[in-house]
Amino acid sequence: MVSHQERASSFGQVAETYDRYRPEIPREVAYWFGAREGLKVLDVAAGTGLSTRTFEALGCNVTAIEPDSAMLEVLKRRSPGSIGINGAAESLDIDDATIDLEVLCSAWHWVDVPSSTSEAARVLKDGGTLGICWNGFDQRVDWVARYAELRDSTSVTDDLGDRLGHSPLAVVLPETAPFSEPEICTIDWVWRRSLDELAMQLTTYSGVIVGGVERSEAVQLRARELLVDRVEEDGLITIPMAARCWKATRLPRT
């Protein structure tokens, strides 16, 4: 049985592939979190910088925190306008009350919630924002759900509300955390990629990575079989996506 920690630390094995085939977050997500020119953003568990680059392109001053050295190396190369630091959500090498927005994109399920919340409260300015999102496939669409199922060892649920994957409703901070009541939303968007790209994309998920070459090849084969009829005249597939977003405000210090 592969542990949660082994899966969490597996992504560095495929850092280049991850950066090439995973989607960046849409600008609409960054805007919903309050992105604007000059905003001091802390992108935590930033991976290869897929969210870092979105905020950077909007003129934000971004510091990216990533615990995996291989992922961080790609981030620094791809996001030269941002500061990349090796570190984790649970222990941030950032001064108190200096950050306008801390974001964790497709990463909250990997962190220790109490210590990560405490660190966010420490580094955020009064009135600053803690933003959490999961950016992925819109599994409310049947064929998308069956595509996404290939990366997991689970069956497609009949409950459309559960098909989106990790839910902002599941983000529960400690009772004493100095944050406002949260806001949540789902931002729908579409991603256009080739059949080859979508097959390779599935190999960047922890459940496939830890399964080794045999599982990776099997997943790619099944993806091609499933998606071949979805290829459009220009050779691309339009896949519905959903960014599930959560944010709360850092309450004033007393």
Q: What Cα–Cα distance (Å) separates residue 235 from each residue in 98, 191, 218, 232?
A: 47, 13, 23, 5
**Phi-psi region at 62: left, alpha or beta (left = phi > 0; alpha = psi -120 to 50):** beta
Which residues have C-beta within 8 Å of that of residue 189, sequence separation ≥ 6?
26, 28, 241, 242, 243
Three-state DSSP state, 123? helix
Q: Is residue 10 part of a domain?
A: yes
Q: Give 3-39 pLDDT, tens digit per residue.
A: 767 776 688 788 999 999 999 999 999 999 999 999 9
What are the structure tokens assigned to 106, written together? Answer: 């497709």
Q: Give 149-171 pLDDT, tens digit per residue.
A: 998 754 334 444 444 457 787 89
Domain count, the chain: 1
Report the CATH number at residue 185. Answer: 3.40.50.150
Q: Is residue 104 part of a domain?
A: yes
> What distance in Å separates the CA atoms of residue 163 and residue 157, rounded to the nearest whole number?
7
> What distance in Å separates the CA atoms of residue 61 and residue 40, rounded to the nearest whole number?
5
Share of the chain above pLDDT 90, in %: 80
Q: Is residue 254 part of a domain?
A: no
Q: What Cα–Cα distance (Å) separates residue 229 from each residue in 18, 21, 46, 158, 163?
A: 25, 21, 34, 23, 22
Q: Is residue 148 part of a domain?
A: yes
Q: Give 46-89 pLDDT, tens digit per residue.
A: 999 999 999 999 999 999 999 999 999 999 999 999 999 999 99
Q: Is residue 13 part of a domain?
A: yes
How many Cβ atoms sit within 10 Å of the Cβ of residue 226? 17
Strand-pair category, 40-44 with 61-66 = parallel
Q: Is residue 123 part of a domain?
A: yes
pLDDT at residue 14, rounded to an integer: 86
Domain that holds residue 119: 4-249
Q: Is residue 171 part of a domain?
A: yes
Average pLDDT of the residues in 200-223: 90
Q: Give 229-251 pLDDT, tens digit per residue.
A: 999 999 999 999 999 999 999 99
